[in-house]
Amino acid sequence: MLALVAGCGSDGGEPLTVYAASSLTAVFEQLAPDARFNFAGSDELATQLREGAQADVYAAASPRYPGELHEEGIVDEPIVFATNRLVMVVPAGNPSGIRELDDLAAADVRLVIGGEGVPIGDYTRELLARAGRPDVLERVVSEEEDVKGVLAKVAVGEADAGFVYTTDVRAAGGDVEGIELPSELQRPIEYPAAVVREAERGEEAQRFVELLRSPRGRAALRAAGFGLP
């Protein structure tokens, strides 16, 4: 365990560089406070890695991009370390009185979602299709690059509702309220992590991935609201 906790940029050299989905911000910074992080949409991070960005670890909110990068020889085999759920989010106090998906179809509702290709955006569109409510997309006033953008727009009242992960609602405190969505409308949301093939700190990167699956890592993820594989 000491070997897992040690490292992550604490030896006086260049810090471990981790590219990770925005929804992992709080828990990753807690687990490895000395590491250097780049938090953004999983698709954007994958593009940066394809273009030669220097990173040691890549962690995404969907298996799609780590899988593609693995096939392209950019990262090692991805390992799933956490799961999540999609929830509907409204501003604190729920001024528009939104309680369920059908309420989003009202003409005056302002909806914000993730853009196409962004995991949170793709999960949202899949859920609406399964619910038979693709018409709700007509209420979209903004498409964001990552889940943080969706959450921020709802928190400040620029939108009446949005779709984020359950962990984001917990991290936002009292700024927003989460509305649970039926499990049958959701497919599993898995978070894989992988060591970048050309990582300058390969051994340390491997220790970080192992940390995510260790008792300490699993406890931190569970405390943040993530499910465990």
Q: Domains in the chain, please, with CATH?
A: 2-83+190-223 (3.40.190.10), 86-185 (3.40.190.10)
| pLDDT of amino acid 49 | 97
Side chain identity at residue 144, one-letter code: E
pLDDT of 20 strictly over 60: yes
| pLDDT of amino acid 211 | 98
User: pLDDT per residue over 78-101, tens digit each?
Assistant: 999 999 999 999 999 999 999 999
| pLDDT of amino acid 4 | 45
What are the angstrom distances between the C-alpha of 89 and each of 51, 151, 175?
34, 8, 10
User: pLDDT per residue over 7-16, tens digit each?
Assistant: 454 455 789 9
Place of tokens 């931190």: 220
Both tokens of 89, joined, read 């989010």
Q: Please tell me the distance from the alpha carbon of residue 169 to that of residue 18, in angstroms, as a whole number.
A: 23
User: pLDDT per residue over 113-171, tens digit each?
Assistant: 999 999 999 999 999 999 999 999 999 999 999 999 999 999 999 999 999 999 999 88
**CA neighbor of 78 nearest in space, from 88, 87, 86, 68:** 68
User: pLDDT per residue over 168-181, tens digit each?
Assistant: 998 888 899 999 99
φ, ψ of residue 102 in degrees (nearest 5): -60, -25
Please state whether the predicted TM-score (pTM) of the whole model is above 0.85: yes
Tally Cβ neighbours within 10 Å of residue 197: 14
Q: Please tell me the distance from the alpha carbon of residue 68 to that of residue 179, in angstroms, as a whole number.
A: 33
CA diameter of the chain: 57
Helix (H/G/I), strand (E/B), else coil: 33: coil
21 contacts 38 by C-beta, under 8 angstroms: no
